[in-house]
Structure 1
């Protein structure tokens, strides 16, 4: 076995993707789990932890990595349908840039990432119960972010539409 086709340890092995260029670096790996490259991927991601203030929330960036690495491995971008369900303090990462700046005195590094994700068929939902608890009104959110009754409801609805839940 040669090492040219396997992932080597180290951040330098991770490269930007062709779809979401500024986020979602991934490594080339020798894989043993084959998948149908023409399959439709419908996956929901759950994020409850707020990222470090002023930095990209790495859990949100995971969606960019999912898109980039699958497209790099032959899956058409139009076959990738992702949903981001946000609850808890992570809701603050969905604030409009100006409001985030006002609240935290730092730039919302998630704003551009969220816009890139939504331009690539990602649906972003904020738990309405968390929003009510943290006083985050719909008009405070990045354009395109949708409000759900709850994170539980969003996951139930997405599951009924064939979305699997990413376990991490």
Structure 2
């Protein structure tokens, strides 16, 4: 019982050190998206390099930006703020299935794409965004229908295999 009380007290004393929702802010690599918060005491190796692939199958909900695209922006921003040089952070996003709607232009969607600004900032930050060619064919999407900077791959499976061979790890979140 005493140990439980001590643990609870320690947790409560630590709470003021935790950030709240108002402490999150976008960062330098993707300036309008990908809000993060610094984590005091979190130390990364000086030579840390990140090559991270995101698998994007779920489409955004309503007029919101795609949560997983925003996660890729967070990866860029949090590592930049943690002091990792830009050239040491590479992001690849493989899009397939319903998420194809999040990387097509307004004309193809017949409505404004709420992800267009985020995709543009991700591409400007150096992200590779590839739409599965099999998904594109099944949905009658051509290269001309894609947002600027988005490319077609043979398939999502092929894109992931090639990224893995190039040293990318798959983000599990």
3-state SS of 1:84 partner: strand
Tell me the CA shift for residue 109 of structure 1: 1.3
Tell me the CA shift for residue 98 of structure 1: 3.2
Tell me the CA shift for residue 44 of structure 1: 0.3
- The answer to whether 1:87 aligns with 2:96 is yes
Tell me the CA shift for residue 30 of structure 1: 3.7
Tell me the CA shift for residue 31 of structure 1: 4.9
Tell me the CA shift for residue 79 of structure 1: 1.2
More helix by share: 2
After the TM superposition, which residues 1-168 of structure 1 pair with which residues of structure 2 at under 5 Å, given as runs?
A: 6-8=17-19, 10-31=20-41, 34-100=43-109, 102=110, 105=111, 107-168=112-173
TM-score with structure 1 setting the length: 0.88
Rg: which structure is higher? 2
Cross-structure match for 2:7: none
8 Å contact 2:31–2:121 — kept in the other structure?
no
Cα-to-partner distance string for 1:120-162 (whole Å, 9 max, x where unaligned): 1100000111111222122100121111111111000000001
Aligned pairs, how many? 161
Tell me the C-alpha RMSD between the 2 structures: 1.8
Change (3 A) 1:166 1:112: same
8 Å contact 2:103–2:115 — kept in the other structure?
yes
8 Å contact 1:7–1:27 — kept in the other structure?
no
3-state SS of 2:158 partner: helix
Structure 1: runs of 5+ lacking an equivalent: none
Separation of aligned partners in 1, 2:40 and 2:14: 10
Change (3 A) 1:74 1:3: farther
8 Å contact 1:20–1:116 — kept in the other structure?
yes
